[in-house]
Amino acid sequence: MNKVMKDKLKDSLQGILPVAAIIFIISLFFYFTDKNIQGEDLFQFGIGTLLLIVGFIIFNIGAENSMMAISEKIGGYLAKRKSLTLLIAIAFIIGFLITVAEPDLWVLAEQFTAVKPFVLIVVVAFGVGIFLVLALLRIAFKIKMSTLLIVSYGVVFLVAIFIDSSFVQVAFDSGGVTTGPITVPFILALGYGLSVGRGDREADENSFGLVGICSIGPILAVSVLALFSKPDAIHTSEIAGFGSYLLRYLFEILVAISPFVVFFALFQIFVFKLNKKKVIKILIGFLLTYIGLVLFLVGANYGYLPIGDKLGREIALSEHNWVLIIVGMFFGFTIVVAEPAVTVLTHQVENVTSGAIPRKVMNFSLSVGVAVAVGLACLRILYEISIWWIIVPGYLLALVITLFVPGIFTSIAFDSGGSASGAMTATFLVPFAIGAARALEHDELKYAFGLVAFVALAPLLTIQILGLIYKLKGKKARRDKEEDEIIDLKEV
């Protein structure tokens, strides 16, 4: 247990401290220059950072021993039953319930008031349920990941042509925030369990891709909703006190965890029938997941949301406001590895590929991609650039690359897109963008929203480019080996 704690502490410090250091240094500069950043802001930021570190550790220990453990077993059970009807029914129910429970989605729904938050959440949950079914059917019928992605995104962009432009940002943002710290561990392990249970030779490859496919569901669902709605107003989340955030997330995360506990109870009674010791271990895992997520989200909102909004305003109003792009890129580079869902994903990638795709390489690739994405989002805010100029060529390039890279890289890339845009992005980078847009008096619905979509798009390109590099290196290595064998034969 001590080794596990040390590993989690190391991951937590490496992920969060670089982000905290950059934010603190920039905030300190404004604190000493114009006093718009107050001492109270820095104090809250310090408390928030401490809560992030502790919550990060507890969440990761809990998720490994609860959600990931039971979802692998559920996947294995579905594979053994070989019932298509059962697979579709359980997949849809799981997809719907975990989406309704995702905290990041509630944050987005509260900010966008063109439709009632509950309506938006239900529509998004329906989309995730449908696409989780499609993702599992892909494994069952061995459909190529690239084929499903090209067809699905083709439909998405076809529908998007006919909707109000103000909805486009929210539609793509919803795809990013939906796959957060609750959803990702469960879906990843579910796919792995199903693939292994079927005895697939491509189990490692098929275990990934579900998160990426599920991210399409909200985009398409919100786009269809937009055909029947018009945006009329927007407001952003109110900045609250420590007590308010604590009470809010104690309740919201309890709602988020409950569906998993219910599923475990039902499967334990009728299917698993695990011994008492294992049941207690899983229940403790759920409790740790709950505590860890509450601490993490309270820390992010209490410490990072207010300072993100103020920094965005201050930099945008400065004489050299182009610095917003550079600062945004710094934030993007460091913030992605602090996402709980990214940590879960990179650990599983390294384990499943037996170290062939190291966590360090993945983290660096994600950081570079997200840095560029946030830089483009800030450029869009400053110069009021339409989202279409970036989102269309970005996705088109990502989908073209799927035809040339090994399937596992495509699956991991699209999973990474969903995982990278989570709690830290929603509670720091989005307020940072909104603060800048407000200060410049630019339409925040059209230009601040969309940042999450860019963050979700970046890994689709960077991880697949990493796959191309691995593929080319593999070809070169095989060529060199063949040449060596020819030389040896000549010598003989």
- Mean pLDDT score of the chain: 83
pLDDT confidence of 379, banded at 50, 70, 90? very high
Q: How far is CA 53 from the centre of its chain?
A: 19
pLDDT digits (tens, 9 = 90+) for 265-313: 988 898 888 899 999 999 999 999 899 889 988 988 898 888 988 999 9
Contact 167, 114 (CB under 8 A): yes
The answer for residues whose C-beta is within 8 angstroms of residue 189's C-beta and 6 or more apart is: 67, 68, 69, 71, 72, 75, 348
- Residue 337 CB-half CA count within 13 A: 25
Sign of CA dihedral 427, 432, 437, 441: positive
pLDDT digits (tens, 9 = 90+) for 139-170: 878 888 889 999 999 999 999 888 877 788 88
pLDDT confidence of 375, banded at 50, 70, 90? very high
pLDDT confidence of 381, banded at 50, 70, 90? very high
Segments making up each domain of the chain, as ranges? 27-482
Contact 379, 327 (CB under 8 A): no
d(CA 113, CA 391): 23
Quote the pLDDT of residue 118: 76
Q: 59 pLDDT exceeds 50?
A: yes
- Residue 195 CB-half CA count within 13 A: 23
Give the least confident one: 111-120, 150-159, 413-422, 463-472. 111-120
Quote the pLDDT of residue 423: 67
Cβ-in-10-Å burial (0-12, 13-18, 19+) of 82 comes to exposed
Residue 130 identity: I
pLDDT confidence of 492, banded at 50, 70, 90? very low
Mean pLDDT of all residues in 316-331: 90
Q: 399 pLDDT exceeds 90?
A: yes
